[in-house]
Amino acid sequence: MFKFLRKHPPKDSEERGQLKKELFGYRRCLDHGFPSKPSCMAYDPKLKLLAVGTKTGRIKILGAPGVEWSVELRSDVSVNQLFFLPEQGRLLSLCSDNTVYLWEINQKGEKSVLEQKREYTFSVDESRMKGISVCCLTNNCEQLLIGTEIGNIYILDLNSFKLLDQIIYQDVVMQNVPDDFKVNPGAVEALAVHPTDPDKFLIGYNRGLIVLWDNEASNADQTYNSTQQLESLSWHRNGTEFMSAHNDGSYIIWSSTNSAEPKDPALTPYGPFPCKAISKIDWKTAKLDPFIIFAGGMPRASYGDRHTVTIMQGANNIHTVLDFTSKVVDFITISRADEAEDDMEMDEPHTLVVLAEEELVLIDLETQGWPSFALPYLNSLHCSPITCSQHVSNVPDNLWQKIADAGQAQNKNLSSREWPINGGKIAGAESLTKDLLLTGHEDGTVRFWDASSTSMSLLYKLSTASLFNVEIHGDHNSGEVEEEWPPFRKVGNYDPYSDDPRLGIQKIALCPLSETLVVAGTAGQVVVMRAERDDRELEVSSTTVSVVSDRDGFVWKGHEALGKREGEVTFPAGFQPVAVMQISPPAACTALAFHSEWQLVAAGTAHGFGLFDYAQKKEVTSRCTLNPDDLTGTSDTPISRRKSFKKSLRESFRRLRRRRSERRKAEEKTKEQKKGDDKSEGIEEKASPIKTSPPASPESRPVERQVEARNPEDSISSMVRCLYFATTYISDVSNTTSSLWVGTNGGHVYIYTVTVPQEKRSENEVAAVLAKEIKLRHKAPVMSIAVVDGRTKILPDPLEVQHARAKEPQGNNHSVVICSEEQLKIFTLPHLKAKWKYKITAVNGSRIRKVAFINFRSRSDDNYSECNIACLNNQGELSVYSVSTLRQQLEASCLRREDINGISSFTFSKNGQGFYLQSASEYARVTLSARCATEPTCSLELKEGMRVVVEDEPEPETQEAAQTEGNTDMQHTEEVSTSTETTRTASVQETTTTVISGDNLENSTVTTTVTESSQQVTSSGDAPITDN
């Protein structure tokens, strides 16, 4: 009876079902970081909003920090161009499928959303359209000029969202072209509306022909002929001159009234040798001197591989070439004249916004030296590839201030001006806690991100390279201009190269209460650091801990350890080193744990683990976990494991022979069963001609797959996967003992008792003795270990009880939860008797990849909380299990099973949220808690009457037929409502929240047909507990 109860705990009651709804609820919150594969951007100077589109069909609108909206089209559609309708809260997007969308920021209940209102798709069968090459808004924002690859220009009326009958054919334009220009001008390459005459605009064709077109008179006012291929056009503010940029790296200034010859000869800034094309040029006036800003134009032979934007300012010859490490996608110049309510004589540019493939950079044009801005959002998280991460909740104010001050000292070369893109307002309350997201990088740096709100900004960057003998290249944002021509200046933070791959950070652990940080690297280096307010000169000592010293004949075939820098080294304010433990052999660290109260650090590799006392800077103990037969050098990758070719062939043949014999036995068995079935069927048919279905079982059980015991040869069984410090009952029930738990890849758990001296800590030695061992029968990797007290609460972290952040563990009936890849199991302490078990791989075939113990709080009752186990499996599914009975509380699909990088990068927070890399540069944020969710909460105020009232008139059938014959197609979405548009004039409230305690919100995905979908989450506790 007791065995049955152990297998099958009592089912959840109705009250428990209601409580689960108050505790758990999966939804995706938002994204942090830089969008992957950006393709275009737009800026609204009146509302001060920035929009970014991507090749994967995503659009993101941002304003002040915390103000953001986003929408996602089909994944196979690329956003090619974006246009804001100034002061209207509307955005036009031109996509790769030749569709123009109109988006609006609107209020939907308590939320503000970016929704699709209009859609116009050019017919695929329309031969005259071919493809859209460029678009341009008119000055009154009522029409969109659409240039095509065959040279025609169409006009889309934005009020009716229909094509006008007027079409500017290339043949008509060519009638006024001089006879000396006989070649086909090519596609429409550029369009630029006259700044003072709204009826005129420039048409630039690919092969160099430029036409000033008078749309009211429908004729060419002027024609300009350049000998080079055209790339870009830009007007002077007064409308009397304009500038054209070409593919040979030159630009020409023309007069708008005289097309006979250029006003000035063609100027090639970086000639006379052949140069690359100037892809875009901008001409802005200022009180001092005008600005000429252009992308590209570098000498082909010398700097053809550089990605640049050049800023030149007038007669003062102020000249800087901004050098980026990734390709420049687009740039926008923000001017005071565009933002002002009244007309200004000069443009007065103050900020240059550059969108590159891997980062966003803003340049301050009003401050001497043109420094960069510190980004409050859209940060390049992958400035060096991310290798690991950790989330730290509720950071004390003292530590937060130390980190912030150290970060500000690092930003002394950045602009001190306020962030210029500050549209919208934050409507929600500020976060109650200060949270950090720590990311370790390939170049040996640890970056501290403010994860308290929706906009994740960089607080502080810590580099470990200064501890070792490694050559470090210069900082990109130093502000120094190289003494050469062209005058390059490195800008941006994206740097895909590493000084030494051994510097890569593998594990991070931060104790916010003791202000201690431990980082472990690729070459077995473990650095203990502590936060300091002042600069200090230190000579750091390094202690070598040999893991395989007791194994004769072991040969390490990997990289060498990093050399320590000798003598005193000056460390700036921030985290400064206390001690360094070097594991030998220098394999990558695979597990890390430290106890700040005991001042002990444990680190594991593929060979074993070491325990280090960083108070006395000495080794406490170490253990080699390698098999006695495995004495060759191994690393943490299966490729480098020793396995002879002869042995591999032998095992392959044995496996084939075994399968054949098993198949033969199975066939014989099925034949015997068929004979028996035939006999029984004959008897049944005689007895009763009517077939009856078998009775249904009272309780359907899941099909349990047989999980074979793993062969140690199939994986690195010696690898240490988890380390855990705990004060619990190890030897008897009367006294608690300090302990260290070590879990390996082969399902082996070592339990060490640790004796920490209470007095004279710096003199008396720490001792560690192996007390017990656990060998899991299925030999699956041990992912995580935690001890639970009598109240089914996880033991508090070090110093939490002293700082009144947690209660003392209660009761003497402790138990330990051991999470392997294939199952969850609870053992009683100190006897280590199995109490509960939940098989995961046997039930659904998945394997656990990430585990965390989370304290879930009720969204309606502040006094109720419970601890549960959160897991992410290799299928991309998130699950929550009860600590007391291991019953499943929640299951939700989060990632695609093919997204290996996203699954491996997933990290949980203590309050039930999660982060994972949805691309190399962007974290997605999700939550499993019904109470805690970080979502944007903002508002956007519009002036009254700014949005044009659009009336939809029914069209007669004859008009529809004529429109179909003309092969033009307009599609209205179901969400377009006349009543909504006629009443929406005053203000649009946008809401985004940090903590949501209401009903579950739907995740809306807008496609070309504007469909809304919600993520269905099953919250079930009926999965049975099974036993071997």
**Element at 242 (helix H, strand E):** strand 241-246
* Lookup result for tokens 């006629």: 982
CA 665, CA 657: separation in Å to the nearest integer?
A: 13
pLDDT value at residue 700: 41
* Lookup result for tokens 């995905």: 1005
Residue 355: is its pLDDT beyond 50?
Answer: yes
Residue 4: is its pLDDT beyond 70?
Answer: no
- Mean pLDDT for 655-660 is 69
CA distances from 637 to 558, 634, 887, 942 (A): 11, 8, 35, 57
pLDDT value at residue 1015: 35
CA angle 165, 166, 170 (to 5 degrees): 130
Q: Encoding tokens for residue 297?
A: 């134009």
Residue 8: is its pLDDT beyond 70?
Answer: no
pLDDT value at residue 275: 95
Spatial neighbors of 20 by CB under 8 A, at least 6 apart, are: 12, 889, 890, 1019, 1021
Q: Where are the beta strands (DSSP E) in 336-377?
A: 349-356, 360-364
pLDDT tens by residue, 99-120:
999 999 988 877 888 999 999 9
CA 80, CA 41: separation in Å to the nearest integer?
A: 9
Residue 642: is its pLDDT beyond 60?
Answer: no
CA 849, CA 821: separation in Å to the nearest integer?
A: 7
CA 97, CA 94: separation in Å to the nearest integer?
A: 8
* DSSP codes joined into one string, 321-347: EEEESS-EEEEEEEEHHHH-SS--SS-
* DSSP codes joined into one string, 429-442: PPPSS--EEEEEET
pLDDT value at residue 109: 76
Best mean pLDDT range from 657-671, 800-814, 889-903: 889-903
Residue 966: is its pLDDT beyond 80?
Answer: no
Confidence bin at 639 (pLDDT 50/70/90): very low
> Are 31 and 70 within 8 A, CB to CB?
yes
DSSP state of 478: G
- Mean pLDDT for 702-709 is 46
Kindly calculate the radius of gyration of the chain based on its CA atoms and give it in whole angstroms. Answer: 34
Neighbouring CB atoms inside 10 A of 951's CB total 9
Spatial neighbors of 474 by CB under 8 A, at least 6 apart, are: 480, 490
**Of 728, 696, 840, whose CA–CA distance to 793 is shortest?**
728
Neighbouring CB atoms inside 10 A of 641's CB total 15
- Mean pLDDT for 551-555 is 73
pLDDT tens by residue, 173-216:
888 777 767 678 999 999 999 999 989 999 999 999 999 999 98
Residue 72: is its pLDDT beyond 60?
Answer: yes
pLDDT value at residue 995: 34
Residue 1014: is its pLDDT beyond 60?
Answer: no
- Mean pLDDT for 61-68 is 94
CA 253, CA 270: separation in Å to the nearest integer?
A: 17
pLDDT value at residue 482: 55
**Of 877, 935, 870, whose CA–CA distance to 23 is shortest?**
870
pLDDT tens by residue, 359-381:
999 999 999 999 999 999 999 99
CA 220, CA 222: separation in Å to the nearest integer?
A: 6
pLDDT value at residue 399: 97
Residue 615: is its pLDDT beyond 50?
Answer: yes
CA 25, CA 1001: separation in Å to the nearest integer?
A: 10
The amino acid that residue 385 corresponds to is: P
pLDDT tens by residue, 748-758:
999 999 999 98
SS3 273: coil
pLDDT value at residue 650: 64
- Mean pLDDT for 589-604 is 96
pLDDT value at residue 687: 33
Least confident residue range of 446-455, 475-484, 820-829: 475-484
Residue 37: is its pLDDT beyond 70?
Answer: yes
The amino acid that residue 905 corresponds to is: S
CA atoms lying within 13 Å on the CB side of residue 326: 23
- Mean pLDDT for 831-843 is 91
Confidence bin at 349 (pLDDT 50/70/90): very high
Residue 812: is its pLDDT beyond 90?
Answer: no
pLDDT value at residue 227: 86
SS3 717: coil
pLDDT value at residue 573: 95
Least confident residue range of 19-28, 800-809, 1019-1028: 1019-1028
CA 481, CA 885: separation in Å to the nearest integer?
A: 64
pLDDT value at residue 40: 97
CA 999, CA 1012: separation in Å to the nearest integer?
A: 17
CA 433, CA 412: separation in Å to the nearest integer?
A: 27
The amino acid that residue 909 corresponds to is: S
Neighbouring CB atoms inside 10 A of 525's CB total 27
Least confident residue range of 106-120, 786-800, 836-850, 857-871: 106-120
Residue 227 β-bridge partners: none
pLDDT value at residue 9: 60
**Of 344, 294, 359, whose CA–CA distance to 45 is shortest?**
344
- Mean pLDDT for 118-127 is 72
**Of 396, 518, 514, 601, whose CA–CA distance to 798 is shortest?**
514
pLDDT value at residue 43: 97
**Of 910, 914, 923, 908, whose CA–CA distance to 857 is shortest?**
910
**Can you give 467-532 as a three-state secondary structure string?**
HECCCCCCCHHHCCCCCCCCCEEECCCCCCCCCCHHHCEEEEEEECCCCEEEEEECCCEEEEEEEE
Spatial neighbors of 1 by CB under 8 A, at least 6 apart, are: none
Q: Encoding tokens for residue 992?
A: 């985004």
Residue 420: is its pLDDT beyond 80?
Answer: yes
Q: What's the distance, CA 309 to chain centroid?
A: 27
This prediction has a pTM of 0.84
Residue 390: is its pLDDT beyond 60?
Answer: yes
Confidence bin at 949 (pLDDT 50/70/90): low
Confidence bin at 475 (pLDDT 50/70/90): low
Residue 952: is its pLDDT beyond 70?
Answer: no
Residue 53: is its pLDDT beyond 50?
Answer: yes
Residue 84 β-bridge partners: 91
Strand pairing class (328-335; 318-324): unpaired
Neighbouring CB atoms inside 10 A of 593's CB total 22
pLDDT value at residue 672: 56
Question: Alpha helices, DSSP H only, in 688-710?
Answer: none
Q: Is the pLDDT higher at 161 or at 997?
A: 161
Confidence bin at 630 (pLDDT 50/70/90): low
Confidence bin at 12 (pLDDT 50/70/90): confident
CA 841, CA 826: separation in Å to the nearest integer?
A: 17
Phi-psi region of 492 (alpha: psi -120 to 50; beta: other; left: phi over 0): left
CB neighbour burial string for 758-792, b if at least 16 within 10 angstroms, e if fewer? eeeeeeeebebeebeebebebbbbbbbbbbbbeee
- Mean pLDDT for 663-679 is 57
Question: Alpha helices, DSSP H only, in 731-865?
Answer: 841-844
**Of 542, 549, 532, whose CA–CA distance to 617 is shortest?**
542
pLDDT tens by residue, 316-325:
678 999 999 9
pLDDT tens by residue, 234-256:
999 999 999 999 999 999 999 99
pLDDT value at residue 710: 53
pLDDT value at residue 497: 82
Q: Where are the beta strands (DSSP E) in 815-947?
A: 815-820, 823-828, 834-839, 848-857, 865-873, 877-882, 888-893, 907-908, 913-919, 922-929, 938-939
Phi-psi region of 33 (alpha: psi -120 to 50; beta: other; left: phi over 0): left
- Mean pLDDT for 834-863 is 92
Main-chain dihedrals φ then ψ at residue 408, nearest 5 degrees: -65, -35
CA 322, CA 952: separation in Å to the nearest integer?
A: 49
pLDDT tens by residue, 280-326:
999 999 998 899 999 999 999 999 999 999 999 986 678 999 999 99
Residue 961: is its pLDDT beyond 70?
Answer: no
> Are 918 and 27 within 8 A, CB to CB?
no
> Are 1023 and 889 within 8 A, CB to CB?
no
Residue 126: is its pLDDT beyond 70?
Answer: no
Q: Please state, rounded to an integer, the average pLDDT across all residues of the chain.
A: 83
